[in-house]
Amino acid sequence: MAVKIIQLERLIHQKQVRLLVRFGFDDYFKNLVQELEGALWSNTLKSWHVDDTDENLTKIYAIFKDKVDIDDTFLVPIVVVKISEEAAVMLNDFTLWLKSKRYSPNTIKTYTESIKSFLKFYHNKPIAEITNQDVITFNNEYILANNYSASFQNQVVNAIKLFFKTVENKMIDVDLVHRPKRPKLLPNVLSKGEVKAILDAPTNVKHKAMLSLIYSCGLRCGELINLKPNDIDSCRNIVVIRNGKGKKDRITPLSIKILDLLREYFKKYKPSTYLFEGQNKGEKYSDRSLQLVLKQCLRKTKITKPVALHWLRHSYATHLLESGTDLRYIQELLGHNSSKTTEIYTHVSTKNLQLIKSPFDDL
C-alpha cells in the first residue's frame, strides 16, 4: 500500500502569508483539514490554506501525525517587506491627490499598488534620495528580473513619474528608463454566428439582456453594470453611457430587438437603482458574476476560444465596419479619443480581404 503524503508550503496568497496543506483527493484528509479554524479551499492554488500562525502549524502536525507522512521541505520562512512610515504617509497623500483629481478607482488602485512595490524595493532608502538611477535599477532588478509584462512596466514607470511630481515635487526623467515598445496586438473578434450562439445560450432573461446589450451597443463591462434605468431612452431609441472611460458621456443607438428584451427583463426583475442589480436590491451586478455567465454560455455553445466580455465590444465594432459604417461614427460610438485607436479594426475586418484572390488558386 502506497504511503500517503501531505505537503506543507508557505506562500503569499492575496497579499497574506498562508500555510498551504496539499494532498491528493481524499475525503478523509479533507475532513481533517476542515477541523482547522478558517481553513479555505483555493481553486487557484488547488490547495487548502490557513493563516500562517504557530498555533495552526502545531495543529496541522497534531492532526496528521501518525496518519500520513508530512513533507515540509517547502515550509520556508517568508520575510514580508513593509514600506517605511515616511513612505506610508506620502503614499496616502498621493492616493488623496488622485482622488481629488477624480481618477477612476481602478486607476487609483493600479497606481498605488505600483508605487507600493517600488517603495518596498527601496524600503531602507529615504525617498528624498531616490534618483533616476534608482528607477532604472528597479526596472532591471525587479520588473525585468521577475519577467513582468511590458504593460505592467509602463504602468509602474508612469506611476513613479506622477508620484514624484505631485508628492515630492521632483521630476523623474522616465526617458532614461528603457521602455518597451507596446506590442501591436489585434483585437479578438467573433463571427456573427458565434455571437448569435453565445447570446442565444442563456435561459435567464437577465443574463441574456446583459450580454446582448454589451454586443448591440459596444459597451465595456464597467459601462454596462453602471447603467441606470433612466439611461435607457426608449422614446429616442438610445442608450446614454455616463462617465465612461476618460470621464466622458456618450450615446449609442438602441436596437428595437434589445428594447423588447429589456422590457421583458424589467417586468420580471423590476430594478430600482441600477439597470442590472445583483442579489441585493440596489447593488450593481458584479463584473465577476457576468464573466461567469459568459463562461457558462461558452460551455453550452462548445466554443473553445478563450472569449472574454471585451470580445463582444470588438466584434460589434468590426461587424459595423464590415457592414459599411464610417470609421468616424464607430469612433464616436465606442468613445475613443483618437481615430488611431478605432483604425485597428480595419486590420481584422475580413470584408475586403475576402475579395483578394490568392495566387495559389491559379496553380
Q: Report yes or no: 250 and 332 within 8 Å, Cβ to Cβ.
A: yes
Say if CB 244 and CB 335 are below 8 A apart: yes
At 212, the amino acid letter reads: S
Residue 244's Cβ-count burial label (10 Å; 0-12, 13-18, 19+) is middle
- Measured between alpha carbons, how far is 60 from 19 in angstroms, rounded to an integer? 10
Distance (Å, rounded) from C-alpha 334 to C-alpha 219?
Answer: 7
Cell of 218: 459596444
Instruction: Give the residue among 67, 51, 58, 54 at the shortest CA–CA distance from 6.
Output: 67
What is the spatial distance between Cα 275 and Cα 210, in angstroms, rounded to a whole number?
10
Amino acid letter, residue 67 = K
Give the C-alpha separation, 307 to 61, whole Å: 44
Cell 459601462, residue located = 223
Query: Strand, coil or helix: what is 42?
Result: strand
State how far the alpha carbon of 241 is from the alpha carbons of 63, 207, 266, in Å.
56, 20, 19
What is the Cα 43 distance to its own chain's centre?
17
| 159, 115 contact by CB (below 8 A) | yes
User: What is the crossing angle of helices 309-322 and 327-334, to 10°?
Assistant: 160
DSSP at 175 = G
Nearest to 135 by CA among 170, 83, 95, 97: 170
**CA-wise closest residue to 162 among 205, 231, 101:** 101
Cell numbers at 214, concatenated:
454589451
Residues assigned a catalytic role: 220, 245, 310, 313, 336, 345
- Rounded Cα distance between 218 and 325, Å, is 14
